[in-house]
Structure 1
Amino acid sequence: MAQRLVSVWQPFLNSGENSAAALDAALELEELGYARLWFSAGFGENVPRRFRDLLDGTKRIGVAPGIVSIWHSSPAEVAAFTADAERDHPGRFLLGLGASHAPLVEEKGIDYRKPYSKMVSYLDALDDAGLPRSQRVLAALGPRMLELSRDRSAGAHPYFTPVEHTAEARAALGADRLLAPEVAVVVDPDAGSARATARQYTAGYLALPNYTNNLRRFGWTDDDLAGGGSDRLVEALIPWGTPEQVAAGVEKHFEAGADEVAIQVLNGGNAGAFPADAFRTLAAILI
C-alpha cells in the first residue's frame, strides 16, 4: 500500500479521570499530523464510548481500538457501533479485533479454547451483520492469524513485535493489506534509565504466552525472555535514545513493510500523564 502513516498508541487517551485532557491531547496530535489514535478497548462489553467521544471532538484524525476482545464483546453491538461511527465520521473509525490472552480471559471466568476458531466465527457474525471487511483489522501475531487478517479484514495491527515480525507480516499479508504495528519507544539517551523504563512495560507482556511464543519463533530464548527481557531483546522491541535514535528505530518498521506505525511513548508506566513533548519532537522528525 502506498502509505507511510505515523499514528499514536497511548493509554492516556482512555483516561477515565480526565476526559477533557484526553480530548485536548487528541486535538494537539491531530494538529501535529498524526494519522490515527489507538488505545485499548479494555475488557468491558463492546466498544467503549471514549472512542466515539474522540471522533466527535476531533475533525480529521482516525480513531481505532487496539483491541476489542472477541471474548468480551458482542459482534452485533460492535458492528452497530462501527456502522454508526462510519455514518457520522466516514473513513475515520477502524475496528481492531483480537483474541486476547488466556490468562486475561480466564480470570474473567471465560474458557479460552480455540481462539482461531473463535475469531473465524466472530468474523462470520460481523459479515452477517453487514460490517465491511475494509472497516476492521486483526491483532495478528502468528502465521494463521496473519493469513486470516489478509483474507477477512483490511489488514493487521501487531502489538509487541520486533522488526523481523513486521517483515514476516508484510510477506503474509501481501502488498494490498494494511500493516500497522504498535511500536513502544523511550525518549531517553541514558541506557540505564531507558532500559528500566522499557522493562516496566515489557515485564507484563513477557508473562503472556501469546507474546513469548511469538518471540520464540524469531529465535529469542528463555534467557532473553526472563527478568523483563535481556538488553538485546529490549533493544529489539523498544527503540530508545535521543529523538533521532528513536525515529530511526521506527523507520526500520517502515523499511520492513509497515504502512502505519502506532508509536507508544513509555513514561514509566504513568498512564495518567500524557508525554506531549515527546510526541511533538517525534512529529517534527517523522511526519
Structure 2
Amino acid sequence: MDIGTTGLWSPELRLHADPAEITEAAAELDEQGWGALWIPGLGGGDILGDAERLLRATRRTTVATGVLSIWRHPAEEMAAGHARLRRQYGRPVLLGLGVSDAAAAHRAGTAYRPLSALSGYLDELDESPTPVAAGERLVAAMGPKLTELAGRRSAGTHPFLVTPDFTATARGLLGPVPLLAPYQAVVVDDDPDRARTTARGFLSTFIGMGHYAASLRRQGFSEDDLAHGGSDRLIDAVVAWGDIDAIDKRVRAHLDAGATHVALHVISAHGGLPRTEWRALAPLAR
C-alpha cells in the first residue's frame, strides 16, 4: 500500500468536539497532499466509525489507525468493519494494531503475552469470514520479536517514540520491503524552553509507562532521562521542534535511516485542532 512519505497523526481527529470541523479539516489536509491521516486508538470506542468520517471527507489520503488495541477490539468485528469500509469507499483503512501494556491485557481478563496474543489476533484476522489482507494491516512494534513478526505477517510497523537510530535498527530487522512508518512528535516553535515544555505536556505520561520506558532504555536513555517528564536530551531526541526546516531535517533523518513514511503528530499548547500548525507544515506533505 502506497501511503506517501509523510502523514499526520492526530488524536484531535477523533476527539474534537465539533465533528463538522473534523470533516472540514480532513478535507483540507487531503488537498494539502498528506499521504496518510493516522488516528490513535485512545481508550477504545468506535475507531472505525471515526475512520469512516475521515474517509467521507477525503479522496486520496489513506486513513490509518495508529493504533487500535487488540485487547479492546475483537478481531472479527474489526475484520467485518474493515471489509465494509473497503466496499463502501473503494479504499482500505490501514489497520494498525498494538499490544499496549500488561494493564490493558489484565483489564481484558487475560495474561500479558504480547507476541503470542498478537500472533493469535492476526490468525483471527486471516480466518475471519472477511479476512484483512496482510498488506492492509501493520503492527506497533518496538522490540525485535514483534518487529520480526510485523515483517512476516503484516505490511510493516508503526513504532512510537523512537529516534532515527531506532528506525535504522528496525529496517535492518525488517529487511528492505516492509512498511516502516515511525510516529514523530513535532512542536512548531523555535523557542527551546517553550517547545520542550509543550512536548512534555503531552509525552510525560507515555514516558512514564513501563513498555515505552523499556523501549527508551533500549534506545540508550538513562533513568535520569526518563525522570520528570523527560530530560532535554530525551525530548530533543524524540521530538522535532523548531521551524519547518528543523522539522524537515528530522523527517529526512528517519527516511535516510530506512523509514518508508513518517507520521507527524503536532503537539500544541492550545486546545482544539492544530490547523495553524498543519498549514505551516503543509510543504512537508508528500
**Cα distance in 1 for residues equivalent to 2:44 and 2:220:** 35
1:30 match? 30
**Cα distance in 2 for residues equivalent to 1:122 and 1:104:** 15
1:115 match? 114
2:275 match? 276
Q: How many residues align?
A: 284
Give yes or no for contact 2:96–2:137 (8 Å, CA) kept in 1.
yes
2:88 match? 88
Matched, 1:221 2:222: yes
**Cα distance in 1 for residues equivalent to 2:2 and 2:99:** 29
**Cα distance in 2 for residues equivalent to 1:171 and 1:253:** 13
SS at match of 2:193: helix
Alpha-carbon deviation of 1:175? 1.0
1:49 match? 49
**Cα distance in 2 for residues equivalent to 1:179 and 1:143:** 14
Cα offsets for 1:202-252 (capped at 9, x unmatched): 211111111111111122110111111111111000011112112111211
Matches within 5 A, 1:6-155: 6-15=6-15, 17-44=17-44, 47-106=47-106, 108=107, 110-129=109-128, 130-155=131-156
Listed as ranges, the gaps of 5+ residues in structure 1 are none
Please tell me the residue identity of whatever aligns with 2:9.
W
Task: Classify 1:132/1:65 alpha carbon distance in 2 versus 1 (closer, same or farther; 3 Å).
Answer: same
Give yes or no for contact 1:60–1:92 (8 Å, CA) kept in 2.
no
Please report the TM-score for the alignment, with normalisation by the length of structure 1: 0.93
Give yes or no for contact 1:137–1:156 (8 Å, CA) kept in 2.
yes
Listed as ranges, the gaps of 5+ residues in structure 2 are none
SS at match of 1:158: coil
SS at match of 1:188: coil
User: Percent identity over the alignment?
Assistant: 38
SS at match of 1:94: strand
Please tell me the residue identity of whatever aligns with 1:178.
L
Alpha-carbon deviation of 1:91? 3.6
**Greater alpha carbon shift after TM alignment, 76-85 vs 45-54:** 45-54
Please tell me the residue identity of whatever aligns with 1:114.
R
Task: Classify 1:200/1:158 alpha carbon distance in 2 versus 1 (closer, same or farther; 3 Å).
Answer: same
Matches within 5 A, 1:246-285: 246-268=247-269, 270=270, 272-285=271-284
Alpha-carbon deviation of 1:89? 2.7
Task: Classify 1:266/1:226 alpha carbon distance in 2 versus 1 (closer, same or farther; 3 Å).
Answer: same
Moved over 6 A (4+): none
1:212 match? 213
**Greater alpha carbon shift after TM alignment, 141-150 vs 251-260:** 251-260
**Greater alpha carbon shift after TM alignment, 210-219 vs 5-14:** 210-219
Please report the TM-score for the alignment, with normalisation by the length of structure 2: 0.93
